[in-house]
Amino acid sequence: MYGWPLLVLCALLPATAAGSSGRSYPHRVVLDPEGKYWLLWGRQGERLAFRLEVRTNGYVGFGFSPTGTMAAADIVVGGVAHGRPYLQDYFTNADKELEKDAQQDYHLDYAMENSTHTVIEFSRDLHTCDANDKSLTDSTVRVIWAYHHEDPGESGPKYHDSNRGTKSLRLLNPEKASVLSTVLPYFDLVNQNVPIPNKGTTYWCQMFKIPIFQEKHHVIKVEPIIERGHESLVHHILLYQCSSNFNDSVLDFGHECYHPNMPDAFLTCETVIFAWGIGGEGFTYPPHVGLSLGMPPDPRYVLLEVHYDNPARKKGLIDSSGLRFFHTTDTRRYDAGVIEAGLWVSLFHTIPPGMPEFRSEGHCTRECLEEALGTEKPSGIHVFAVLLHAHLSGKGIRLRHFRKGEEMQLLAYDDDYDFNFQEFQYLREEQTILPGDNLITECRYNTKDRAAMTWGGLSTRNEMCLSYLLYYPRINLTRCTSIPDIMDQLQFIGVKEIYRPVTTWPFIIKSPKQYRNLSFMDAMNKFKWTKKEGVSFNKLVLSLPVNMRCSKADNAEWSIQGMTALPPDIKKPYKAEPLVCGTSASSRLHGVFPLPLLGCSLLLGSMLSAQGL
């Protein structure tokens, strides 16, 4: 009789203990703008552990959603009610109706409530094989959150009203140990009071001069500096190395990028040395790698290109955003480089309307890598991080790697791409690229809601398909991209001849009659696209020869530049290992207990033994 109250007391210990379960969480982010809801998390083998710290004395909700809404979501609700911790696994259907999950896959590890906050810690397997749960992978995850000032009643949780939100995260991005000193010097490259036009897309360019160093320095961390309130306005930032043959007069003013009146000096800035995307945090280089400054081949003048996304076309916006660079004279072993791979940004990148799925491929060809790496680094380069980039219709991106016709493990992927969340993915293990390898940046698009063609281009309504590879040691290869021939694409819709020589852009079609004197863009839009036609066109485009871009620094080119190549003959596609369902839930039923409960069980056992029971 004395054992049962003790068992109940032991079960409640996590709710009355102070602090936490003792587990460490390498990742931490605030989910709401007022700082009331904090998420901490960390991976433990094939499980993911979470800690929620929320300013409420009611329930706390957390989950994963394919769209960032309540529809078809995987949700957990927890808290402490009347001194008792609780945690319940739920899911929602397409109509956002909340239902208890028959398979409870979330395990409560700790819960605590004080006068202001509720704290709960729980864990789950990455892959539960429950149709109502979301598998957690390296792809972007749209987490949803909510809270209420009351705990759930018999009818379940009450509606959370405005205490809710969503945020895209990459939950499995490997944690990196901090190696920065708090007194590390830094410099900023920041725009000053840029007037943002009241149009959907603006690219603004400004040249800067790197501080003069008397000895070699390594940048070991880069952080975004985004003006408060402009977190959704500043979509991405690229930093280019420019020619060193300038004087400081080029620094006097900024200008809209890709504009006919853009200063000629901007045209020399072709080599990407850093990239940041919306939603991303600061980037820390690995301990053996840094971005070199102060040496003859290093950047002296740089161009900061900021993409402003203003879909509401707001007037009167003034921005002063940019990047911060932490540097040191304690240099690392290797200099970092960046390679832009994928599809050359061009109108020749075409996507038909009304397509629920359309695939584009940008090739970093065997011929380009054979020449560049064979000349510069025959033993290969080592990739340690990748940034994947597309625009609004992009739904998934994969960076595929081939060697001698055999597909290697994916370098990087995001099967749930979110245009509003882009950051470098650290690779779990560095991957080596050898001379003669192939890389394919594969992008999936959805244009079901579009009535006209989608073209490659700079606007967010246009599309891109790019990968930025951070690697070492640095070599003289800055761009490795491709584009399929436009005439082969136009033949699909029946175009026979264009006016030559080409004197206008976009160029004009001569025959057949139904397209005569139309630009190729107008002809593609005039064609009656159906889903069947779109699928056939997609198959054609993926088989076409591609025109190669294989570029060096300072606008130089490898000899292979401009030539054509065939897509690789893939003899052995890569097959990922099948997902393995977690066994932790069943193992807990067979004698494996969380440590606090195990201690209570031992204490309970000794008490019962002493009583002769």
Give me the catalytic one of 327, 389, 391, 401: 389
Which amino acid type is present at position 599?
G
Cis omega (within 30 of 0) for bond into 567:
no
Please return the burial class of 13, using the count of CB atoms within 10 Å of its CB with bins 0-12, 13-18 and 19+.
middle
Residues 331 and 295 sit within 8 Å (Cβ to Cβ): no
Give me the catalytic one of 106, 147, 203, 426: 203
Long-range contacts of 504-509 (CB under 8 A, 24+ apart): 506/347
Best CA proximity match to 346, nearest among 446, 484, 239: 484
Compute the distance between CA of residue 217 and CA of residue 187 in angstroms, rounded to an integer: 12
Compute the distance between CA of residue 65 and CA of residue 71 in angstroms, rounded to an integer: 7
Neighbours of 376 (CB within 10 A): 16
Is 472 one of the catalytic residues?
Answer: no
Long-range contacts of 582-586 (CB under 8 A, 24+ apart): 582/46, 582/47, 582/105, 582/124, 582/125, 582/126, 582/127, 582/128, 582/129, 583/125, 584/47, 584/107, 584/125, 585/104, 585/105, 585/107, 585/125, 585/128
Neighbours of 504 (CB within 10 A): 8
Compute the distance between CA of residue 407 and CA of residue 574 in angstroms, rounded to an integer: 5
Angle formed at CA 450 by CA 446 and CA 454, multiple of 5 degrees: 75
Compute the distance between CA of residue 281 and CA of residue 320 in angstroms, rounded to an integer: 18
Compute the distance between CA of residue 283 and CA of residue 30 in angstroms, rounded to an integer: 18
Please return the burial class of 262, using the count of CB atoms within 10 Å of its CB with bins 0-12, 13-18 and 19+.
middle
Is 389 one of the catalytic residues?
Answer: yes
* Contact residues for 213 (Cβ-Cβ < 8 A; gap 6+): 293, 294
Neighbours of 584 (CB within 10 A): 17
* Contact residues for 375 (Cβ-Cβ < 8 A; gap 6+): none
Residues 305 and 204 sit within 8 Å (Cβ to Cβ): yes
Neighbours of 407 (CB within 10 A): 18
31: Cα separation from own chain's centroid? 18
Compute the distance between CA of residue 541 and CA of residue 465 in angstroms, rounded to an integer: 15
- Phi, psi at residue 602, to the nearest 5°? -65, -40
- Phi, psi at residue 595, to the nearest 5°? -55, -45
Q: Token match 């864990």: residue?
A: 123
Tokens of 416: 């749930």
Q: Length of the chain in residues, anyone?
A: 613
Per the DSSP assignment, residues forming a β-bridge with 293 are 217
Active site members = 203, 389
